[in-house]
Amino acid sequence: MENLKQNKVLVTGAAGFIGSALCEKLISSNISCIGIDNFSDSYSSQLKRDRLENIFANNNANLFSFQELDICNKDGILSLFEKEKPDYVVNLAAQAGVRRSIENPYPYIETNIMGFTSMLEACRHFPVKHCVYASSSSVYGANTKMPFNPEEPADHPLSIYAATKRANELIAHSYSSLFNIPSTGLRFFTVYGPWGRPDMALYLFADAIVNNRPIQLFNNGQHERDFTYVGDIVAGILKVLFAPSSTDEKWDSDNPDCDTSKAPWKIYNIGNSRPIKLLDYVEALEHHLDKKAIKEYLPLQPGDVPSTWADVSKLTKEHNYSPKTSIIEGVGKFVDWYKEYYKL
């Protein structure tokens, strides 16, 4: 096995929720890490800068460096690759959120498609050992067969955000096929935990409960989600990152699986594989906050799906992925962070 400490990993979206957690884990593992982020205004830039400050606070071996850079700046990205020559790339930079993408699709097309293409172009001109990128469980869209299996088609997205993530997978396949770039897409399933995004359910619910406001439970609270703790997600990313995708010699073009290829390209689900009812999620939050929520029940929103459930068997088999964090433990870690961050 190669000495990973001799490698350099480029993480885009390094001031984001998952990106910052990944950077922290890399430097704590003595692996050199370059982070970039553009501090977009999709939510509080202060939270992003605080995450970044937290990374630098733990950067005892000076393994982390950062540059403010937008992945849509193709010349800037090429210059960064030319200067730093990263060995591995994890692209987490994106416009996130299903509902905002319906109201204003243009930033999603620009960042999630054009920006991602600029990253692949850089990997083409300055070859890397592996490019891992964030996809999403939302690509399953209108699919109802559970658990969601990446071997099956995911071609009916129900939001613009989901469509851009599915497009990422297809564009990556083209680049892997044309330029032999090993690439892997990870379909994240409802990530939560400390330093989470303020537009996500757990953060919104905690803020509402603490401030005596009602929490909004869409689909009348009947949602089920494959909630996955951020630490388990990061552990999975690292297992995949340092095992570059290769061609699948058994791939049958007459009967093609949808998650492998003759190109060095793969797709995996990365989730907890244990769907949780939204009301049970709220109950765990109430327990740790020691306070009951005021609940407002609302109908299903456009672009939303009632349930998600990840089949992670292939990731487990090929990369020994094993999520370990229960909902009660993970929500507790979030509440501990939330209280400390807001000095409650």
Instruction: Tell me if 254 is assigned to some domain.
Output: yes
Each of the 344 residues of the chain gets a pLDDT tens digit; together they read 456 778 999 999 999 999 999 999 999 999 999 999 999 988 889 999 999 999 999 888 899 999 999 999 999 999 999 999 999 999 999 999 888 899 999 999 999 999 999 999 999 999 999 999 999 999 999 999 999 999 999 999 999 999 999 999 999 999 999 999 999 999 999 999 999 999 999 999 999 999 999 999 998 888 899 999 999 999 999 999 999 999 999 999 999 999 999 999 999 999 999 999 999 999 999 999 999 999 999 998 887 778 899 999 999 999 999 999 999 999 999 999 999 999 99
CA-based nearest residue to 272, from 310, 243, 300, 314: 310
Structure tokens at 238: 């690292």
What pTM does this model have? 0.96
Instruction: Tell me if 339 is assigned to some domain.
Output: no
Contacts of 173 (CB under 8 A, 6+ apart): 183, 261, 263, 265
CATH classification at residue 65: 3.40.50.720
Instruction: Tell me if 60 is assigned to some domain.
Output: yes
Instruction: Tell me if 27 is assigned to some domain.
Output: yes
**Extended beta strands in 166-263, E state:** 183-188, 191-192, 214-217, 224-225, 228-229
Total domains in the fold of the chain? 1
Beta-bridged to residue 299, according to DSSP, are: none
Q: Yes or no: say if 258 and 184 are a contact pair by the CB < 8 Å rule.
A: no
Alpha helices in 104-197 (DSSP H): 106-108, 116-125, 160-179
Instruction: Tell me if 281 is assigned to some domain.
Output: no
Q: What domain range includes position 268?
A: 4-192+226-272+309-323
Instruction: Tell me if 300 is assigned to some domain.
Output: no
Instruction: Tell me if 297 is assigned to some domain.
Output: no
Q: How far apart are CA 255 and CA 17, in angstroms?
A: 38
Instruction: Tell me if 141 is assigned to some domain.
Output: yes
Residues labelled catalytic: 161
